[in-house]
Amino acid sequence: MTESTSIPARLQNTSYIVNKNGVDQLVNILQRRPDGQVYVHYDGFDKRLDEWIPGASLKPANESVRKRRTDTPSPTPTEPETQPDPLMTEEEFDIKHHKQITAQRNFDKVNFGQWRIKTWYFSPYPLTDSELEDSTGLPGGSASTSKIPGVNRATVRSHGRTSDLLAGGLTRSHLSGEKSILWVCDRCFKYMAEGAAWEMHIKQCDRRHPPGRKVYQRGAHIIWEVDGAKDKLYCQNLSLFGKLFIDVKTLFFDCDNFLFYILTDADSQRDHVLGFFSKEKISYDDYNLACIIVLPPYQRKGYGMLMIEFSYEVSRRAGKIGTPERPLSDLGLRSYLTYWVATLIRFFRRLLSVLPPDRLTVTSSGRLPDLTGVLPPPLEDANSRKKRAKGWDGETPDSNSTFTSPNGLDGECLLASTCNSIQHSMYPYVNLDTVAAMRTVLTISNPDGSATSHVVVRSTLAEIASATNLRIEDAAFALNECGLLGSTLEGVVGITREMVEAVAKERNVKRMCLDPAHVMLT
């Protein structure tokens, strides 16, 4: 067991240099150990990168490097003494206390199924009885000194007490080696402090999938809707585990007002959790997502985008225009910007196309086709041989489903199935009436007797946001970030198909991960 020493606040801003991956980085020391290890924060980076490093690797930063850290001058030493401390409300005091508690990770790694994952942030797992006994034996300290006054111990009964849970990790800062590892069941999210207890639990846990009901299934990928009021313990354990990788959200353990949507991947034995997001049952701001996490082993595989798209699908089916709860983390903002830009680009591609993406030619007899609306997809040859697709349960659509267009070329395309799922995933939720109202097709005669058609669209930002089911501020932010608001003439923004394709190439816009035909919401 190793004792650690916290660094006084006045010394935490002292900068050092550490060579990491061949690059010198500015760091601040947050804590020291007697064995020479120091816990550092990399200046300008998220605290999920904070780590223990050998103290011998530190080099004092010179004055020129320290001055480049900020453009504002440092206050004089006498300034804090001359200014009285501002009065703090109870809420502000709680937030300050929360930040102090969560400044450092209380577990270095978490053992989750077959994975041993490095944690990112503090999570308020309560102290176990063995940890409570160990903490009282620390030199110069006891469990009661690091707990919130009036709270003696963490018990099953006090599991829902946020104050007790937040204080639960304070005495874990001394842990190292195997004691810095948390053991979590990847089936029920029950947590243990020792590997032996975890192995015994794994042999007995028979949960094969999350509780709740299926709300989306495409092949082996399933999204489960879990009610926090019905499966309270499961959702509390899930929230505690998710907090290891979420920093900007304040964690509350009263899960009654939340729904949890858990994404799993199935094998022949059971469903494996890939990630989850939560949302309030009743949100007066129409937030469609409170927090979202994809487990580190499954990141960069499109699962986060699938859950974001599903959250907007839930809002769309409820007749609302949703948006995520603020503030967003750096990774969350990046993911949502990707979604907003991709949604707008798909819409502009459809809007600024004379023909739908699956129609290369249009043949009409006796009259010219009406190109102002959206043409229906081509009809399938009745004599073509139909092949029965194979796959997981819920993956293949009904082979008898077809597209119907009641009014021929002038009619509206009615989606009766997913026979044309490629087109639908590339250009989803296009309001055909809105498109027809926006579009004007300009046809210019050519010298050889042919004609060239161009689409001209006049619309407001509010109309674009409504057509794509986005908030106006989210749509404006995305358009500005991708550079489509740069060309302005007398307050009018001009967007061409060439500009849209350039952004699509730069941002690597892809098809939707979600297939709306497999959503099982009623």
Catalytic machinery residues: 325
Cα torsion through 485, 488, 492, 497, rounded to 10: -60
Q: Give the CA distances from residue 391 to residues 212, 220, 221, 222, 396, in Å, rounded to whole numbers and listed in that order.
A: 24, 9, 12, 14, 7
Kindly report the backbone phi and psi dihedral angles of residue 177, in degrees, each rounded to the nearest multiple of 5, phi listed first. Answer: 65, -135
Q: b vs e for 143-176, b when ≥16 Cβ sit within 10 Å of the residue's Cβ? A: beebbeeebeebeeeebebeebbbbbbbbbbbbe
Check the CA dihedral 134-140-143-148 and report its sign.
negative
Strand runs labelled E in 181-240: 181-184, 191-192, 213-218, 221-227
Strand runs labelled E in 251-377: 258-266, 271-280, 287-289, 291-294, 323-324
Long-range contacts of 91-99 (CB under 8 A, 24+ apart): 97/166, 98/166, 98/250
By the 8 A CB rule, do 28 and 44 touch?
A: no
Which residue is it, tokens 């030619």?
361
In a 10 Å sphere around its CB, with 0-12 CB exposed, 13-18 middle and 19+ buried, how is residue 98 labelled? middle
Cis bond leading into 327, ω under 30°?
A: yes
C-alpha to C-alpha distance for 506 and 498, rounded to whole angstroms: 12
Q: Give the CA distances from residue 221 to residues 29, 216, 393, in Å, rounded to whole numbers and listed in that order.
A: 43, 8, 10
By the 8 A CB rule, do 135 and 142 touch?
A: yes
Quick one: which H or E segment has residue 432? helix 432-438
DSSP 108: S
Name every residue whose Cβ is closer than 8 Å to that of residue 257 and which is 6 or more positions away in sequence. 228, 229, 280, 281, 282
- How many CB atoms within 10 Å of residue 431? 16
- How many CB atoms within 10 Å of residue 297? 13
